[in-house]
Amino acid sequence: MTELLQNFIGGRWVAGQGTGTSLFDPITGNELVRVSSAGLDLISGFSFARKEAGQLLRAMTYAQRAKLLEEVGTVLQANRDAYYEIATANSGTVKSDSAVDIDGALYTVATFAKLGKTLGERRHLVDGDSVSLAKDAKFLSQHLQVPTKGLALFINAFNFPAWGLWEKAAPALLSGVPVVVKPATSTAWLTQRMVKDVVDAGVLPVGALSVVCGSSAGLLDALEEFDVLSFTGSADTAATIRRHPAIAQRSVRINIEADSINSALLMPNCAIDSPSFESLVKEVAREMTVKSGQKCTAIRRIFVPQELFDSAGQAISARLSKITVGNPRNETVRMGSLVSRDQLATVKEGLAMLKSDSEVLYNGEAQPLVDVDPAVASCMAPTLLGVRDGDAGGKVHDHEVFGPVATLIPFRNLEHAQQLVRRGGGSLVVSLYGSDETALAATAVDLAECHGRVHVVTPEVSAIHSGHGNVMPQSLHGGPGRAGGGEELGGLRALNFYHRRAAVQGAQGVVDSVRS
């Protein structure tokens, strides 16, 4: 029988009860490891994190905690090769896709370590200037932010087992808040291994970083009023979480990242031979294929002027036809698999739904797979759909297929394009392609209200921009409406979620002491 991965909770390693749930190689179907959270004492485990690890973390300054993050980064870097092996085996990703997750995680940890140093030897944050509450200015109000004395629970998605942990854990630990992560079961191995390496290295206070692998049963029941919860996953699960007594009655602070039907928009007056047209085509093909389209920020809808619909479809299809799909261990393969056969079935079901009111512009199902058994592997080549009437094609605006699928949609003018983009109901990111910086800026502002991030690509930055779907720790990650209404990252803004804001009212001496 394969190894049963242990959980780290309450300051110790403990195996869940029973045989557990098996994790598989999505290429070969081989069983890799097993996970179980059955029988864990979550109540006492969470209490240990709050009282023991939390107290030790809060006793440190921001600069000291930044140093801890530096040490975490050193540990992760030393084990980087092992993480790549696990990603290939458990997620079926090619090396460049594994890098998006693993190296993205390392970069995020390093970024918050650097940012934390700028906060210096403080233990709380001053929020704005003091203001007088009396005519003689002897009685004032000063806002400040202090780390919450609870813990941070992360319930994460399957697509980023490395980055998904550290984009949340880095700002939490920098804030002085202990972390419990519950990774998605299907790809939990990489998360568990990273936690194990950091715990075994002893660079953090015991209990500052915990991991629970397996079922999420009981996790929310163990939350208390000053804990925080961050969830990444489906809108349906998010709705269930919002109704839980921890949130509905105990007012546990929650951040949700859910479904997102992201867009790419080619501005009017861009010719077929323009750099902006080429940039759009290149980015769409990349976003459809990186991590097999399993990114919350991937492009799902592509908007182009109606006169360029056919040309754009042909150009994107030409790029997709060059993508070799199959076994990531084969050096000729550029795109690996979905994470599981279940996910493959879900994506195919969603694709069939979208096909019911669209046409197929590039048929990935006809593309041969490399070095795999199609009956066993979870591989799927990219498929480009087209809807010639964006006003009539409702499904593409309402349903996200979480895989290598995108839909091309024409628009009549910029106002029409913006109306169609907004039908996504709120998204994580929209990217704009064009050369008129004034028009691009105005469009970015107009679309900012329904997106967490607006990514603008002009010819000047076409070779250096960070990418439509790449989430940089310096910029906001999250989105309104359908996308969950949450906010993560954004540099030091990320610390807000783990702090409590309060106003201290008093004499000048009191306020001066608070500010020092």
Calculate the CA dihedral of residues 460, 464, 467, 471 and round it to 10 degrees: -120
Backbone angles phi, psi at 435, to 5 degrees: -125, -15
Measured in whole angstroms, the distance separating CA 485 from the mean position of its chain's CA atoms is 14
Domains present along the chain, CATH in parentheses = 46-258+489-515 (3.40.605.10), 262-472 (3.40.309.10)
Is 296 catalytic? The answer is: yes
Contact 72/110 with Cβ under 8 angstroms? no
pLDDT value, residue 393: 73
pLDDT value for 181: 98
**Of the residues 167, 213, 257, 488, which is catalytic?**
257
Query: Which pLDDT score, from 0 to 100, does residue 394 have?
Result: 85
Identified catalytic residue from 167, 283, 287, 296: 296
3-class DSSP state for residue 195? helix
Residues 6 or more apart in contact with residue 156 via CB below 8 angstroms: 164, 165, 168, 181, 182, 183, 184, 191, 232, 233
Say which residues have a Cβ less than 8 Å from residue 30's Cβ, sequence separation at least 6: 24
Query: Could you give the CA distance from residue 220 to residue 188 in angstroms, rounded to a whole number?
Result: 19
Asked if 346 and 364 touch (Cβ cutoff 8 Å), the reply is no
Burial class (CB in 10 A: 0-12, 13-18, 19+), 356: exposed
Amino acid code (one letter) for 141? S
pLDDT digits (tens, 9 = 90+) for 321-333: 999 999 999 999 9
Q: Please list, in sequence order, all residues whose beta carbon lies within 8 angstroms of the beta carbon of residue 288, skipping any fewer than 6 positions away.
A: 298, 299, 320, 382, 384, 404, 405, 406
**pLDDT the model gives residue 157:** 96
Nearby residues of 93 by Cβ (< 8 Å), 6 or more positions away: 87, 101, 291, 292, 328, 336, 337
Could you say which residues of the chain have pLDDT below 70?
A: none
Condensed to tens digits (0 to 9), the pLDDT of residues 188-206 reads 999 999 999 999 999 999 9
Q: Which residue has the tokens 């091309």?
A: 408
pLDDT score recorded for residue 251: 96
Residue 508, CB half-sphere, CA atoms under 13 Å: how many? 4
- Annotate 260-324 with DSSP letters as a single string: --EEEEEPTT--TTSHHHHHHHHHHHHHHHGGGG--TT-EEEEEEEGGGHHHHHHHHHHHHTT--
Render 92-140 in DSSP notation, one character per residue.
Answer: ---HHHHHHHHHHHHHHHHHHHHHHHTT-S-SSEEEEEEEESSTTS-SE
Given this model, what pLDDT does residue 135 score? 85
Nearest CA-CA partner of 347 in 318, 317, 383: 383
Structure tokens at 360: 């197929």
pLDDT mean across residues, the chain: 97
pLDDT value at position 416? Answer: 98
Amino acid at 91: S
Closest CA to 426 of 467, 486, 364: 486
Query: Could you give the C-alpha distances from 438 to 67, 445, 450, in angstroms and in order?
Result: 43, 11, 20
* Spatial distance between the Cα atoms of 66 and 339, rounded to a whole number of angstroms: 34
